[in-house]
Amino acid sequence: MKAPAPVHREGPDGLPPLREVIERYGLSAKKSLGQNFLLDLNLTRKIARLAGNLSDRTVVEVGPGPGGLTRALLIEGAKRVIAIERDDRCLPALADISARFPGRLDVHADDALEVDWPKLLEGAGPVTVAANLPYGIASLLLVNWLETEPWPPWYDRMVLMFQREVAERIVATPKSKAYGRLSVLAQWRTEAKIVLNLPPEAFTPPPKVASAIVEFRPRAKPEPACRVATLARVTGAAFGQRRKMLRSSLKQLTPFPELLLQRAGLSPEKRAEELSVSDFARLAVVLDEAGAAND
């Protein structure tokens, strides 16, 4: 009796399921790199669709790992994907994807924190950032992108995954415990909102915390207008001692914090979490006018 032919399973892109890819290349997630893989192609395709119509744009992805989201972005029609991956173990799996989508995937073995983004993306056309960010560098990378100059930035949209706690800090409102420096910077320069929540079970291996995807749309002209470097210094001082009144926490910036606050129309007895995003921007303007801010 003739043996049945082996069943060859493959995804809608003609590539093997991610579990097979991981097994083939020995790609166990590294905790030191903050790796947690998304293996469900239906889920990664949903995330890719959250990034909008990608047919005319370049997509930047950081930390693609074995390529779950990468494949989804390409299946959903991304014109081009530029993937930054510092884990050399993942490069063969990404090379398979590149071969399957000729001319549409560029992989750079690099540290995302050291990339010169405007230079890398020169001539790339409209850019969207879509990534399941490595947890260890997610906040730092986001701050780098939010503080980029000149503004408007080199991207026109970001769809990024964070630990749920970080996502809640990004969209937090004044007078809440989650409200802080990241909230102010993100909301001053972009319109930020949580668009999808994911349980730990969605990942391999499952992390100990839930995750969330945040969408960022850059504001063409953040208001009130101020220098982002000064805003970073003001929020750093205020939230660095968030339990103290502003007249105390801002002493590291100026010997006359009460005068500074008076000029900004703010009570010196308020604490950082009581100020709105606009309040902080106005405070940054006054600090620069006083000549007290230095990069």
> Which residue ranges are tagged as binding site for S-adenosyl-L-methionine?
36, 38, 63, 85, 111, 132
Distance CA 90, CA 56 (A): 27
Which own/partner contact pairs does 109-113 have at CB distance under 8 Å and 24+ positions apart? 109/85, 110/84, 110/85, 110/86, 111/84, 111/86, 112/62, 112/63, 112/84, 112/86, 112/137, 112/141, 113/137, 113/140, 113/141, 113/144
Kindly tell me the sign of the dihedral angle through the C-alpha atoms of 212, 241, 184, 138: negative
> Which residues, listed in sequence order, are joined to residue 180 by a DSSP beta bridge?
none
Distance CA 208, CA 41 (A): 22
Annotated binding site: 36, 38, 63, 85, 111, 132
* Cβ(93)–Cβ(21) below 8 Å: yes
The torsion defined by the Cα of 216, 175, 258 and 284, in degrees rounded to 10, comes to 0
Residues in the chain: 295
